[in-house]
């Protein structure tokens, strides 16, 4: 018998580009995303059939961890209940976006308009397979521009599910703001910069001021659940000056929660542990500065993995900032650059 499991296997659903899966997690050399429906494009779902598949998978998991879940960081001691309901939702099917990030090679800026999951969720609720109390994560692409986004958020709020929105922050949503006011929402905005020049180079749209305004509006509703992200993008924002500008702005906006991440294509190219040493020093500097300013940094699993594979020691030489900056620059390995596909 196996006592490992995770909530998504029994109570999760993820709507992806062309399939429906239990979760949206890709891990451990391409495992994850256990498939429920292949070649999916928004058709009505036979819920009974879907829950039969989930139940079968849960039974297999109780015997031995299934292939898709082997090594997943979400696995833990878990007691399955046998309940045929969905409480955890992920929406990853949207490929339209209002930014053009240099590092977004995954979708090649195709801005594909995918299916609309709103009627599917309504159907799930009407047929009694919905369980309140969980979380719906909307990501993309840019979820706020997908059809029925606001209606979908409203539907979840009315039915007792919290929402987590990963957004560029370019489009302000009243419904997301309602979720924040009700303490039923989390907003994650990837700003990646502290000034419009760098923002424009990375995001390749001239919308920095609007995003800043939207951060202000969301923070005014619930600052505890607004998270601003800084993805280190080599060649664009991998320097102390930009990080300083970012912190200055965060202080001005009274933001409390930050998230730090590393651009994944770069990390993968250098096999996670061989990234230029100055990247790790910037990571050290980011954590150090956040601590000085009493700001919380959320570390996503990808960055944790990168830090776990680090081969250089952590640097704590922040006494003389001028020297530290010089030192970081000197460790920059110019041969380790990356050309992003535009
Ligand atoms: S263990 Fe990981 S891969 Fe498996 S369902 Fe849970 S989150 Fe997905
Ligand atoms: S916000 Fe996300 S989906 Fe949009 S261009 Fe940037 S990386 Fe791509």
Mean per-residue pLDDT pooled into runs of 10, the chain (342 residues): 95 95 86 95 97 98 96 91 97 89 69 82 98 95 91 97 97 97 98 98 96 98 97 94 97 96 84 85 94 93 80 77 88 83 64
Cβ-contact 254, 216 below 8 angstroms: no
Q: Which helix (H) or strand (E) holds 59?
A: helix 47-63
Residue nearest to atom 6 of ligand 1 (CA): 6
230, 189 contact by CB (below 8 A): no
In angstroms, what is the span from residue 112 Cα to ligand 1's centroid?
A: 27
Q: What is the pLDDT of residue 305?
A: 79
- Check residue 272 and give its pLDDT: 76
Report pLDDT for 341. 67
User: Is the Cβ–Cβ distance between 189 and 210 less than 8 Å?
Assistant: no
Distance 95 CA to ligand 2 centre (A): 9
> Do residues 315 and 281 touch, judged by C-beta distance below 8 A?
yes
Give nearest CA residue, ligand 2 atom 6: 101
Question: Is 58 a pocket residue for ligand 2 (Cβ < 6 Å)?
Answer: no
The pLDDT assigned to 96 comes to 85
* C-beta 243 within 6 A of ligand 1: no
Q: Is the dihedral of CA 187, 192, 193, 199 positive or negative?
A: negative
Nearest CA to ligand 2 atom 7: 104
| Cβ-based neighbours of 246, under 8 Å, separated by 6 or more | 191, 193, 194, 230
Q: How far apart are CA 62 and CA 266, in angstroms?
A: 38
Instruction: Name the phi and psi angles at 8, rounded to 5.
Output: -65, -30
DSSP-assigned letters across all residues of 115-170: ---HHHHHHHHHTT-B-TTSEEEE-SS-GGGSTTHHHHHHHHHHTT-EEEEEE-S-
The pLDDT assigned to 107 comes to 52
Element at 328 (helix H, strand E): helix 321-330
CA–CA separation, 25 and 9 (whole Å): 11
The per-residue pLDDT for 1 is 87
CA separation for the pair 126, 155 (Å, rounded): 12
Ligand 2 atom having least distance to the Cα of 106 = 8
Residue 123 burial (CB < 10 Å; 0-12/13-18/19+)? middle
Distances (CA, A) of 5 to 2, 33, 195: 8, 14, 44
State which of 10, 13, 25, 87 you would mutate to test the pocket of ligand 1, scoring each by most atoms of that ligand within 8 A of its C-beta.
25
Q: Say yes or no: CB of residue 68 within 6 Å of ligand 1.
A: yes
Could you tell me which of 143, 149, 150 has the C-alpha nearest to residue 175?
A: 150
pLDDT tens-digit map of 266-281:
887 887 778 889 999 9
Ligand 1, residue 31: give the atom nearest the CA: 3
Ligand 2 centroid, distance to 306 Cα (angstroms): 22
Ligand minimally distant from the alpha carbon of residue 70: 1
Identify the pLDDT of residue 27. 77
Comparing CA positions, the residue from 196, 266, 185 lying closest to residue 233 is 266
Burial bucket for residue 191 (CB in 10 Å: 0-12, 13-18, 19+): buried
Cβ atoms of 42 and 120 closer than 8 Å: yes
- Tell me the pairing of strands 162-167 and 135-138: parallel
């Amino acid at each position: 018998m196996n006592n490992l499991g995770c909530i998504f296997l029994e109570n999760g659903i993820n709507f992806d580009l062309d399939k429906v899966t239990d979760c949206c997690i890709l891990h451990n050399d391409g495992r994850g995303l256990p498939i429920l429906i292949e070649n999916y494009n928004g058709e009505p779902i036979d819920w009974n059939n879907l829950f039969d598949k989930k139940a079968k998978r849960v039974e297999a998991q109780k015997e031995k961890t299934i292939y898709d879940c082997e090594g997943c960081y979400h696995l833990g001691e878990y007691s399955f209940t046998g309940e045929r309901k969905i409480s955890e939702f992920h929406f990853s099917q949207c490929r339209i976006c209002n930014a053009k990030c240099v590092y977004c090679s995954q979708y090649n800026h195709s801005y594909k308009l995918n299916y609309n999951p709103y009627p599917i969720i309504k159907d799930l609720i009407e047929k009694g397979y919905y369980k309140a109390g969980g979380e719906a994560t909307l990501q993309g692409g840019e979820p706020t521009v997908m059809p029925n986004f606001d209606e979908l958020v409203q539907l979840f709020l009315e039915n007792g599910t919290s929402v987590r929105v990963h957004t560029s922050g370019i489009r302000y949503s009243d419904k997301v703001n309602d979720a924040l006011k009700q303490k039923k929402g989390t907003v994650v905005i990837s700003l990646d910069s502290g000034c419009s020049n760098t923002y424009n180079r990375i995001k390749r749209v001239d919308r920095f001021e609007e995003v800043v305004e939207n951060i202000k509006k969301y923070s005014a509703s619930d600052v505890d659940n607004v998270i601003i992200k800084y993805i280190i993008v080599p060649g664009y924002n991998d320097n102390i000056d930009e990080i300083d500008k970012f912190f200055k702005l965060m202080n001005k906006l009274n933001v409390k929660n930050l998230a730090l991440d590393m651009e994944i294509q770069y990390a993968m190219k250098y096999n996670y542990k061989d990234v230029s040493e100055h990247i790790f020093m910037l990571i050290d500097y980011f954590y150090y500065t956040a601590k000085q300013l009493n700001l919380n940094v959320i570390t996503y699993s990808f960055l944790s993995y990168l830090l776990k594979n680090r081969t250089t020691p952590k640097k704590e030489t922040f006494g003389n900032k001028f020297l530290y900056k010089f030192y970081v620059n000197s460790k920059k390995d110019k041969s380790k650059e990356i050309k992003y596909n535009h």
